[in-house]
Amino acid sequence: MSFTSSERDGARERGLRGPDDPVWRRTPHGVAGTVVAVVLLAVGLVTGRADVALVGVPLLLGVAWSGAPGALTGRTPERPTRHAISTADETAAPGELTAVLAIDPPAGVEVVHSRVAAPGHRTLDVLLAPGRRELELGLASVRTGPQPTFVVDVRGHGAGGATAEDVERSTAPDRLVLPAAMPLGRVPLPSRLRGLTGPHTSPRLGDGSELRDVHLFTPGDRLRRIDWRTTARRSPALDELYVRRTYATAEATTILVLDSRDDVGPDLRTWRGNGDLRVDEPTSLDLARHAAASVARAVVGAGDRVGLEDLGRRRRPLPPAAGRRHLRRVLHGLATSSPLGSPARRLRPPRLPADAIVYLFTTALDDESLHMVRTWRDQGHQVVVVDTLPAVHPVHEVHLRLAWRVTRMEREDRLRQLTSEGVPVVAWAGDARTGAPARFEALVRAAEQHRAPSVRHPG
């Protein structure tokens, strides 16, 4: 909505404030200066002390000059201090979030006070000289997903600081922080491959680069497969033709199952929903996003297909596909995952493509994940469980300490039971995260001994 100059003048005549009219108010020290000046003049007049009265005259003139904008100088600002926060993109990488704060104060403002705040960070106060300014804002955070950023309060001060305009607040839009990926090298693949093309050699006969054998020509063999040297050696009269047969190629399908039903941090006090999570400590969902992004990067980098399923939301899963563009969609799906209220119990696990390997990223704080893993294994899927619970800080409260002790023992029993059933469990918290590539490599080597294919991430 915009107002013409005549409408704005009419609003001022009626005593109303227009949308662009600044409101100037006396500051406490401006009021104190007025009181001191009046008291000194009164004391000088009553006691006949001209020196005391003369001391109050400069104070009174200064307050009159600066306390009522335009009363003596005619320098009333025609508009409030304009400011805006702009960001380069709606999404960002983890680490540091940046924005640009543009401030344009009007004439008559001697100093601009800006207060920049962000959740989980200390408040920063900045004093700026008059004139248009652009400030670069930045904050560091290890959190991923939707993150609130900057809240800026701007206030212009008049001459001498005796008056100031009302505080104007601007809030920057939330940023979607995409999870980063860590190079993993090789990760386990399903024992059975699918498709007619792909980066891996399958055990069946077909078009490929790896030689299987040399066989007599049969109907259906392609002429370009004829091995003329072998034919000339075995059948000089060319009564029989020999062809080179190869193994077919295929691709692997990987499904990432993200357990976003809960998002807990290292502090047990925040598990009940009380208190804010620290921005310098990743939560279980942050670790799950990072682990899933790392596995997705390794799979897509090798030319295989990867899909995404979210246990916390009943929405359409992201179907398996390959390519860098699809990897971007996977990262966006991981970033937008978040717990929604109390998690509802699933009647059955999500349906997965046949011959797909499943990576379950969970905290294992309940029996739901154990039930799903068993169901998937009964359906013939290979399952790898990635433990994403962060290292819990010790607490002094006795009831929290006892509750965590019971919860930890139950969780350890679940993970131990999964391991005893042949399900690999890879930890992804604290120092264990750096050893995850070696753990995946060990799983690949163990699978190679049973003639299971593997994927290697280039570079």
Indicate whether 76 pLDDT > 60. Answer: no
Residue 42 vs residue 344, higher pLDDT:
42
**Contact assessment for residue 391 and residue 266, using Cβ atoms and an 8 Å cutoff:** yes
**Contact assessment for residue 252 and residue 226, using Cβ atoms and an 8 Å cutoff:** no
Q: Strand 200-205 to strand 242-250: parallel, antiparallel, or no bridges (unpaired)?
A: antiparallel
Considering the chain, what is the average pLDDT of its residues?
77
Q: What is the mean pLDDT of residues 260-280?
A: 84
* pLDDT the model gives residue 195: 55
Q: What is the mean pLDDT of residues 58-86?
A: 60
* pLDDT the model gives residue 362: 92
**Contact assessment for residue 197 and residue 163, using Cβ atoms and an 8 Å cutoff:** no
- Please state, in angstroms and rounded to a whole number, the distance separating the CA atoms of residues 151 and 125: 12
Domains and CATH numbers, the chain: 23-67 (no CATH), 82-177 (2.60.40.10), 186-193+252-456 (3.40.50), 200-250 (no CATH)
- Please state, in angstroms and rounded to a whole number, the distance separating the CA atoms of residues 418 and 424: 8
Residues found in the chain: 459
Using alpha carbons only, how large is the chain's radius of gyration in Å? 35
| pLDDT band, very low/low/confident/very high, at 359 (cuts 50, 70, 90) | very high
**Contact residues for 214 (Cβ-Cβ < 8 A; gap 6+):** 227, 230, 242, 243, 244, 245
pTM of the predicted model, to two decimals?
Answer: 0.74
Q: Which two tokens stand for residue 94?
A: 């983890």
